[in-house]
Amino acid sequence: MQNELQTALFQAFDTLNLQRVKTFSVPPVTLCGPGAVSSCGQQAQTRGLKHLFVMADSFLHQAGMTAGLTRSLAVKGIAMTLWPCPVGEPCITDVCAAVAQLRESGCDGVIAFGGGLGAGCGESGGVAGDKPG
């Protein structure tokens, strides 16, 4: 009797929880290799994005490596707001600051520029800010 009751309770909870399931994919697309940066503008345009929030690895940005991305977006008429990720491992404070700026910027998509830190911040910020990547 107790096992039947426990099974019924678990089934009821499962049914209630199924109604609250949300689905998301992070990121919707990953570009890598030669030509990846120069194709970002076209990729964003194809998705109907108008203003992107770019979360870039600070080192890569300071080295001028985001210039190609800026050009690719500009050629397609896509605006961008740049957020250089702080140096070091991202902490919740960094991600929260990025999400706040993302929401204030009115961007309709997120690009994570760089590997490791930039990608991690971009994915976290995109999910928390509920924006496509």
Determine what percent of the chain is predicted with pLDDT higher than 90.
26
Q: For residue 74, what pLDDT is reported?
A: 96
Domain that holds residue 41: 24-128
User: How many structural domains are present in the chain?
Assistant: 1
Cβ(118)–Cβ(90) below 8 Å:
no
Residue 8 lies in a domain: no
User: How much is the pTM?
Assistant: 0.68
Q: pLDDT above 70 covers what percent of the chain?
A: 77
CATH number for the domain that contains residue 42: 3.40.50.1970
Does residue 3 fall inside a structural domain? no
Q: Does residue 76 lie within any of the structural domains? A: yes
The two beta strands, 109-113 and 51-57, are parallel
Q: Residue 39 domain-assigned?
A: yes
Angle at 121 between CA 80 and CA 108, to 5 degrees: 35
